[in-house]
Each structure stands twice: as structure tokens, then as C-alpha cells.
């Protein structure tokens, strides 16, 4: 197939090569040849971490040892000027399509999607993924771990599935769809089907270990069946995104290592970066901004707790690298292991400041506008990072972790948000073992580089649809020489109106919004203070030259406008809460104001955004049950350990449980057992009204008879967290602390579940509605 035209996919089936006569005795059979990549095409293992800063991995001078990354760097190359988009979903879209994130419809995250082409988060058919291109050219393709490129409203069993990994060209997917998941109780899908972990946390379960085992098995199985067929494995663990969950032995490895505070850790990182040649001689360490507290100004209790948060994060990152190492070792043991490209990208953006000034052990609670006191968190100090916590470190550690740069995740205007380490190893082809590559590169360059290495062109048409040209360029020339000519001389950046433009060694940038103030939408883009840096001479963006070179600044601003027009960046939109509030498509195109819902058994793992929103209003939940006399388990549940509600049967009695951020819980238990045969169990929730997050009275009815009463003093205003809604089981982490998940319903059958919502509380103003949504997401961009 060396002379085949690969510009149009799928590849056409070759003409029949045999002979057809009147009978088989006069005929010669011939099987059609399946698509094959060019001779010698390499295997590819693409690893992408999450929320890791430039100065956190030991391989790039940081305080967290990462032996796997070290090993790959020693046999390959370290890239010190590699860039992301500064935010996760857009970075991932750019990576798998080879196009700028606006150009593939992913200017921001699906939770903030708007109806403009660059922001609808619906990756178009004109930008086929790397998985699709390689699969149609004869590769085995897989995706493990985090997705976050499937729109919220398409991530249920109603589909459509063309923007799920398997719909985008990956033969196999195992992981989670949303921006984050609990590492001990993940919300898992295998291909398009919901699945549960095979063990509990008490039995040693952790998501990082699970996906590593799955990926190793997939690769080995693939190579056992078809040893000559190359594979493409996209391995996206979702670490070290919050919640930061590290096994105890890993977090304890770092005890005492961060007691001296973020300023000193950042200074130590900077010194190691200079000594190792990661940053050029003469690079300045940018100063601490006013939004980072002085470590010495903290109380002794704050220092102890904040150091523990960082110990836990370091353990999480180190453990993830260990699991990546097991996968890399499995790949290298293959007969063609030396012809495997391993690309290890350390973060889809810079370190995250979304933990706020104090950090948190209950991420969803803090993000919902209920900060947890230092004193309360100290009560669970030893458990931080365990299954019953959802930690995120304070923003001081994020600033520290982006050394030597300014700013943090989300701030695409500066390298603290957009510069990440990358290591490339290809033993058969890279001779400069341990080399450093300073060329300016970007995520969009990875897909064309992999295609070039495989000898496969980017297609002009897929399924008859003309493709947008790839915006990235191959960086393969840098594999051979540190002195290779610049492969990328221009690149724009934009996230939430934080924006920058790089051109031939110069970068102009404007910081516009704050990661921890999504409610702050200043507008006034023309009043932004543009900065100018010559990064060929000023690696860390420490010397603002805007005043000294006003003509250069104006030239770059004009180029930025040209790039925005070219790649569909406009309209700029700095809204946080209002964009979340903007109506999104509904699953299957249903009425967005719907108030009556009916579910049947099998309605499981429904995203919270696609489930009935019972918050801030009165509602009823009625379950029809046929009990064989041994009924037990969850009838319907929404949310998880962070917050939610569950209706279940235990010890023969129907029960309603409301979990308010694992701080206040109501267990309302029926005074009568569930009768044998058919019956109806109903929960009536009478909301107090008068605003958001108020309390409510609960009444339980069994076949219309009142069997219990209860009181919920305060309710969750916006989101329960990353867990889901389901009938017949509690997926992910458990809503109630009285059972172990999934506590699947047995001993009969659930006939149906009917949920009715009262009209919205008219006393809640539109401004409050926006604030409700802001509370859920203000600091929390996955």
C-alpha cells in the first residue's frame, strides 16, 4: 500500500485482485487488503498530565521527583519552550486535532459554552482527531483517563456519541468524561457504557493504578493479536487536577519537605533550573505578586496545614509518575519498544490557583461559597488526600509551582498559565540523549509531528467532508538537532480575554480576568494594560518593554487582531457567571423548562447538568417498587460524598438521606418497613423559599401514608460535585455514609421513578440566579 492516496479517509477498499468465473473451480479468491500504515511507522504513547506547573517536576528543576520523566529525558529530549492554551478542555482539543482551540470550536470549556462557532465546544467534523486519522491508516487507537472534550449536554446515554472518544476515532476508551473525578470513587465509562471500579478504596483501589493496568493490558493484547500493527495510546490520567488524592504512603514521603514555605521552595526551584540549563543564564525569577500571602506572615497552624496540602499534592504527582513508569516499562519491553515514540507532556496548563488563599479539603463546598475554617480542616489533617477528603492546595503553591514565571492556570497572557514541560523519547531515532530543545513549540504541533513520524499526511477529506488545514507544524527537525531552525514563529493565546501574541521572539500580552474572580467581568478591553517582552533575551517575562518600544507593541497588537480573525477567536467574552447561565442545548433537545421527569431502571450515570435540578425549589420524588421481600439498595441518588441526596432501602426500611457538604446530614428513616409486593415510596421536599440555599421540610410517604418527617437546615445552592444521577445504584463516591457504593438495588425491581419540580422561586432574582451558578464554578475551571 505504499502508493496509496491517503489524503481522503477512510481509505478506499482496493479492487478485487482475484478472478471470478462461472463456478468456484474456475475462480480465484483474494481477501481485500486492510489499511496499513507506511513501513516502519512507530508506536505512539502520548501522556498528558493535568494542572502541573513548569516548576513542579524534578526533571525541570521542581521539588517533586519524577523518575519516569527523568528516565525518558535521559534517553530523549526536554523541551523548555513548549506551550499549552492555559486551560484544560481547549488544550486537549488542540492536542488531538492539531488545530488552535478556537478553530476546533473549543475556545473555552463546555460548562461556559455559548452559541458562537468558536465557543460551542462541539468539535466539528472539519477537524478530525489524530485518533481518527491514525485508525483509518491502520493503527490501533485507545484513550485512557480524562476526556472533557464531550459537551456536557452530550455526555449522557442519550448521546449523540460522535464527540465521545469512540466517536472521534479511538477504538477503545476507559476513563471519565468530565473535567475531574474522584480518584478513589471515579465516575467511569468503558467506551460508551457506565462501569464501576472492581475494588473499594479499602481494598486498595486508586484510579491511577486502574487506568495504568487497563492501558498495559490493551497494549499487550493488541500486540499479541497483531504484532505488526502499530498502536496509538493517548494516556491522560487527570492528575494532578483536584481533588488531589494520594495514597497515604506517597503523601507521607514528603513530610516536612515544604515547611519552609512557597517563597523558598520557588527560589530553590529557580536555582536548580539555572544549574540544569532548563532556563538560560541571566533569567530573572519574577517577584511575588500581592495576591500571594507572605509565608512568614502565616500562623503556625496555617503553615502546618498549607505544607500538608503541598505534601499531599507532591505525593499525588509522584505517584502518577510512578504509574506512568509502569506503562512506559511495559511499552519498552515489547519487541518494537525502541520504535515507540513516548511524548510526556507535564500539564495541560500551569499550576492551578483554584484552591483559593487557604486551600481546602472539601473542594466542592469551598467552590460553592462555603469556605471551611482552618480549625475545622485541622481536625482531618492526617486524612488529607484520603478517600473522605477532596483537597486542593492554596494558591501560593500554584504561584510557586510556575517558577520562574508570572501568573497561573487560566491566565493565557503569561507563561505561568501556558508554558509546560515536555519530554520526547524515541530510542530508534533520537541520538542526542538528554538533550534540551529551546525552540518555541505548542500543543497544536504534536498531531502533525506524530503524522510526519508515521509517514502519514493530514487528510484533506474525512467521510467526504473537507478538512481545515492543521494549524500545527511538525517539530521532527528538532529531534535531530538542538540548532534546528525555529519551527513556530507566531502563536496567539486567549482564554477569558486573557490574551497574548508571540511573534519572532517578541510577545505582547494583556492580563484581563482573575482565576478566582469569575464574577468579575470588567469589559473595557480597550483599557487593558498591554505588556511587551523580548523572550529571546528575557526567558521569564521579567522586563516589560512596552514603554521602551511602543511601535513594536502596536505592531504585535495588530498581529493579534489578524490571528483572531484568522482563527475565529472573536467575540471576546470575559463573562464568568453569565456565560454559565446562558442556556445550553438539552439532552435530546428536550424542553429546558421541563418540570416533570420519569426514569426507569438502567437510567444510570446521568450527568448532573442533564438530570432534574431539585435545588432551590420544592419537589417530589416518587418511586414505584415491586419488593420480593428482600429489597435492599439505592432507589435513586444524585451527587456523591461532597454533597447530594439518596433514596434507599436498608434493613427493610425506605430512607431519605441529604448530604450537605459532608458537614450536615439528614437520615430520614421510615417508621414502617417496605411491604412485600408493589408499593410507592415518596419524598416530599417543601423548600423554605426566599432565596438560594435555604432549608426545607421533608415528609416520607409509603403508599400515601406519612411514615417520617425531617428537616434540612440548609441546601446546596448550585452543584453537588463531579458525581452523577442514577436509578438503582449510587455511582462514584457515596452520597450517604451508611452504605458502600454502588449499593445496587436487589430483592425485587424498581418499576419507575417520577420527579416533579415546583416552579422556580420567583423571589430569587436574575442576579441571584447568576450568582448561584457563579458559586458553583467561580474558582473551579477543570
Cα 585 to Cα 147, 177, 540, 607, distances in angstroms: 20, 17, 42, 14
> Is 766's pLDDT higher than 50?
no
CATH architecture of 43-282+311-353+397-479: 3-Layer(aba) Sandwich (3.40)
The dihedrals phi and psi of 81, each to the nearest 5 degrees, come to -130, 55
**Residue 340 confidence (pLDDT):** 98
Q: In DSSP terms, which residues pair with 360 in a beta bridge?
A: 392
Work out the widest C-alpha separation in the chain, in whole angstroms: 93
> Model confidence at 584, in pLDDT bands (50, 70, 90)?
confident
The owner of cell 487593558 is: 528
Residues facing residue 155 across a β-bridge: none
**Per-domain boundaries in the chain:** 43-282+311-353+397-479, 490-580, 588-769
* Dihedral (CA of 734, 735, 738, 742) sign: negative
pLDDT of residue 372: 85
CB 19 within 8 A of CB 27: yes
596: cell is: 416533570
Q: Using an 8 Å Cβ cutoff, are 476 and 453 in contact?
A: yes
**pLDDT on residue 770:** 47
> Going by DSSP bridges, is the β-strand pair 725-727/531-534 parallel, antiparallel, or unpaired?
unpaired
H helices then E strands: how many in the chain? 16, 29
Cell of 758: 415546583
pLDDT at 767 over 60: no
Residue 762 has pLDDT above 70, yes or no: no
CA 648 to the chain's CA centroid: 31
Among candidate residues 131, 134, 125, 155, the one with its CA nearest the CA of residue 144? 131
CA separation for the pair 242, 221 (Å, rounded):
32
Question: Range with the lowest mean pLDDT among 84-88, 160-164, 520-524, 558-562?
Answer: 520-524
Placement of cell 497544536 in the chain: 444
Q: How far apart are CA 571 and CA 494, in angstroms?
A: 11
In angstroms, what CA-CA distances link 382 with 200, 251, 386, 567, 773? 20, 10, 9, 49, 33
Three-state secondary structure call for residue 339: helix
pLDDT band with cut points at 50, 70 and 90 for residue 205: very high
What digits encode the pLDDT tens for the residues 688-736? 998 889 999 999 999 999 999 999 999 999 889 889 999 999 999 999 9
Alpha helices in 252-299 (DSSP H): 262-276
Scanning the structure block, which residue is given the C-alpha cell 511601535?
A: 551
Q: How confident is the model at residue 768 (pLDDT cuts 50, 70, 90)?
A: low
CA distance 517 to 520: 5
Segment 151-169 shows an average pLDDT of 91
B/e letters for 147-158, b = 16+ CB within 10 Å, e = fewer, are bbbbbbbbbbee
Q: How many angstroms separate the CA atoms of 278 and 78, rounded?
A: 8
User: Closest by alpha carbon to 98, among 357, 417, 467, 550?
Assistant: 467
pLDDT at 774: 45
Residue 238's region, left for phi above 0, alpha for psi from -120 to 50, else beta, is left
Mean pLDDT of 649-672: 96
DSSP-based three-state secondary structure for 22: coil
Look at residue 402 and tell me whether its pLDDT is greater than 60.
yes
Neighbours of 691 (CB within 10 A): 14
Residue located via cell numbers 463531579: 722
pLDDT of residue 279 exceeding 70: yes
According to the model, what pLDDT value does residue 586 have?
Answer: 81
Asked whether the beta carbons of 230 and 36 are under 8 A apart, the reply is no
Candidates 25, 780, 48; CA nearest to 344 is 48
CA distance 239 to 179: 11
Residue 516's pLDDT is what? 74
What pLDDT sits at residue 579?
Answer: 82
Task: Spell 540-571 as b/e; 16+ CB within 10 A means b.
Answer: bbeeebeeeeeebbeebbebbeebbeebbbee
pLDDT confidence of residue 128:
98
- Exposed e or buried b per residue across 202-218, where buried means at least 16 C-beta atoms within 10 angstroms of its C-beta: eeebbbbbbbbebbbeb
Residue 159, phi-psi category: left (phi > 0), alpha (psi -120 to 50), beta (remainder): left
Tell me how far apart the alpha carbons of residues 146 and 183 are, in angstroms, rounded to a whole number.
12
pLDDT for res 368: 79
Quote the CA–CA distance of 355 and 391 in Å, as a whole number: 8
- pLDDT value of position 158: 80
133: preceding bond cis by omega (within 30 degrees): no
pLDDT exceeds 70 at position 761: no
Backbone angles phi, psi at 587, to 5 degrees: -55, 125
Per residue in 457-471, pLDDT (tens digit) is 999 999 999 999 999
The answer to whether the bond into 29 is cis (omega within 30° of 0) is no
Region 490-580: CATH code: 3.30.1120.10
**Mean pLDDT of the region 452-458:** 98
% pLDDT > 90, the chain: 86
Can you tell me the distance from the alpha carbon of 667 to that of 737, in angstroms, rounded to the nearest whole number? 10
Say yes or no to pLDDT of 549 above 50: yes
**208-267 residue pLDDT tens:** 999 999 999 999 999 999 999 999 999 999 999 999 999 999 999 999 999 999 999 999
Return the closest-CA partner of residue 129 out of 155, 104, 160, 156: 104
Q: What is the pLDDT of residue 705?
A: 97
588-769 has which fold?
A: Jelly Rolls (2.60.120)
List CB contacts of 609: < 8 A, sequence separation 6 or more.
Answer: 111, 152, 153, 584
> Whole-number mean pLDDT of the chain?
94
Compute the distance between CA of residue 7 and CA of residue 459 in angstroms, rounded to an integer. Answer: 4
Amino acid at each position: 500500500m505504499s502508493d496509496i492516496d491517503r489524503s481522503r479517509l477512510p481509505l478506499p477498499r482496493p479492487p478485487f485482485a482475484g478472478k471470478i468465473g462461472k463456478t468456484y473451480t474456475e475462480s480465484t479468491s483474494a481477501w481485500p487488503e486492510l489499511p496499513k500504515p507506511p513501513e516502519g511507522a512507530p508506536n505512539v504513547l502520548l501522556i498528558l498530565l493535568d494542572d502541573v506547573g513548569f516548576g513542579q517536576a524534578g526533571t525541570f528543576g521542581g521539588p517533586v521527583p519524577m523518575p519516569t520523566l527523568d528516565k525518558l529525558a535521559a534517553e530523549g529530549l526536554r523541551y523548555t519552550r513548549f506551550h499549552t492554551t492555559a486551560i484544560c478542555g481547549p488544550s486537549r482539543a488542540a492536542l488531538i486535532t492539531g488545530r488552535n482551540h478556537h478553530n476546533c470550536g473549543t475556545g473555552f470549556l463546555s460548562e461556559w459554552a455559548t452559541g458562537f462557532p468558536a465557543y460551542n465546544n462541539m468539535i466539528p467534523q472539519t477537524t478530525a482527531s489524530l485518533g481518527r486519522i491514525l485508525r483509518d491508516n491502520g493503527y490501533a487507537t485507545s484513550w485512557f483517563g480524562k476526556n472533557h472534550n464531550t459537551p456536557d449536554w452530550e455526555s449522557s446515554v442519550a448521546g449523540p456519541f460522535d464527540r465521545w472518544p469512540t466517536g472521534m476515532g479511538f477504538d477503545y476508551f476507559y476513563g471519565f468524561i468530565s473535567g475531574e473525578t474522584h480518584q478513589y470513587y471515579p465516575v467511569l465509562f468503558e467506551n460508551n457504557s457506565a462501569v464501576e471500579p472492581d475494588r473499594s478504596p479499602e481494598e486498595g483501589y486508586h484510579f491511577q493504578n486502574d487506568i495504568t493496568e487497563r492501558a498495559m493490558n490493551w497494549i499487550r493484547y493488541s500486540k499479541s493479536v497483531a504484532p505488526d500493527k502499530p498502536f496509538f495510546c493517548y494516556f491522560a490520567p487527570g492528575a494532578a487536577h483536584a481533588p488531589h488524592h494520594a495514597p497515604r504512603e506517597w503523601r507521607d514521603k514528603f513530610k516536612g519537605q515544604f515547611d519552609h514555605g512557597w517563597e523558598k521552595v520557588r527560589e530553590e526551584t529557580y536555582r536548580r533550573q539555572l544549574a540544569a540549563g532548563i532556563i538560560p543564564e541571566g533569567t530573572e525569577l519574577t517577584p511575588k505578586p500581592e495576591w500571594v500571602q507572605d509565608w512568614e506572615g502565616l500562623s503556625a497552624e496555617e503553615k502546618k496545614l498549607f505544607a500538608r496540602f503541598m505534601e499531599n499534592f507532591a505525593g499525588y504527582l509522584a505517584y502518577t509518575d510512578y504509574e506512568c513508569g509502569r506503562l512506559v516499562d511495559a511499552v519498552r519491553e515489547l519487541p518494537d519498544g525502541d520504535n515507540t515514540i513516548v511524548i510526556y507532556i507535564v500539564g495541560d496548563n500551569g499550576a492551578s490557583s483554584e484552591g483559593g488563599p487557604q486551600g481546602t479539603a472539601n473542594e466542592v463546598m469551598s467552590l460553592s461559597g462555603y469556605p471551611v475554617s482552618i480549625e475545622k480542616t485541622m481536625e482531618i489533617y492526617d486524612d488529607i488526600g484520603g478517600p473522605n477528603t477532596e483537597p486542593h492546595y492554596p494558591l501560593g503553591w500554584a504561584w510557586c509551582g510556575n517558577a520562574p514565571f508570572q501568573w497561573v492556570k487560566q491566565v493565557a497572557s503569561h507563561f505561568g498559565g501556558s508554558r509546560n514541560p515536555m519530554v520526547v523519547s524515541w530510542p530508534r531515532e533520537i541520538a542526542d540523549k538528554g538533550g534540551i530543545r529551546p525552540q518555541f513549540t505548542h500543543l497544536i504541533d504534536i498531531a502533525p509531528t506524530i503524522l510526519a513520524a508515521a509517514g502519514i499526511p493530514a487528510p484533506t477529506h474525512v467521510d467526504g467532508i473537507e478538512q481545515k488545514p492543521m494549524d500545527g507544524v511538525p517539530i521532527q527537525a528538532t529531534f535531530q538537532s538542538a540548532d534546528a531552525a525555529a519551527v513556530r514563529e507566531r502563536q496567539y493565546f486567549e482564554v477569558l480575554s486573557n490574551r497574548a501574541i508571540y511573534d519572532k521572539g517578541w510577545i505582547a500580552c494583556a492580563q484581563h480576568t482573575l482565576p478566582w474572580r469569575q464574577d468579575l467581568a470588567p469589559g473595557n478591553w480597550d483599557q487593558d494594560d498591554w505588556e511587551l517582552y523580548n523572550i529571546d533575551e528575557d526567558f521569564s517575562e521579567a522586563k516589560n518593554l512596552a514603554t521602551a518600544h511602543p511601535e513594536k507593541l502596536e505592531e504585535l497588537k495588530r498581529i493579534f487582531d489578524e490571528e483572531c480573525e484568522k482563527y475565529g477567536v472573536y467575540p471576546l467574552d470575559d463573562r464568568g457567571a453569565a456565560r454559565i447561565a446562558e442556556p445550553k442545548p438539552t439532552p435530546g433537545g428536550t424542553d429546558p423548562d421541563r418540570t416533570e421527569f420519569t426514569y426507569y431502571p438502567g437510567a444510570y450515570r446521568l450527568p448532573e447538568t442533564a438530570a432534574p435540578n431539585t435545588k432551590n425549589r420544592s419537589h417530589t420524588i416518587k418511586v414505584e417498587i415491586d419488593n420480593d421481600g428482600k429489597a435492599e439498595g439505592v432507589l435513586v441518588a444524585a451527587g456523591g460524598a461532597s454533597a447530594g441526596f439518596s433514596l434507599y432501602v436498608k434493613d427493610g426500611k425506605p430512607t431519605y438521606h441529604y448530604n450537605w457538604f459532608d458537614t450536615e446530614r439528614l437520615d430520614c428513616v421510615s417508621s414502617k418497613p417496605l411491604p412485600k409486593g408493589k408499593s410507592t415510596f415518596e419524598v416530599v421536599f417543601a423548600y423554605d423559599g426566599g432565596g438560594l440555599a435555604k432549608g426545607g421540610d421533608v415528609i416520607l410517604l409509603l403508599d400515601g401514608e406519612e411514615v417520617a418527617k425531617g428537616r434540612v437546615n440548609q441546601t446546596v445552592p448550585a452543584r453537588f460535585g463531579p458525581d452523577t444521577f442514577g436509578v438503582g445504584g449510587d455511582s462514584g463516591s457515596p452520597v450517604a455514609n451508611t452504605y458502600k457504593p454502588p449499593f445496587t438495588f436487589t430483592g425485587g425491581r424498581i418499576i419507575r421513578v417520577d420527579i416533579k419540580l415546583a416552579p422556580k422561586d420567583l423571589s430569587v432574582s436574575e442576579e441571584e440566579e447568576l450568582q448561584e451558578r457563579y458559586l458553583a464554578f467561580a474558582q473551579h475551571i477543570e
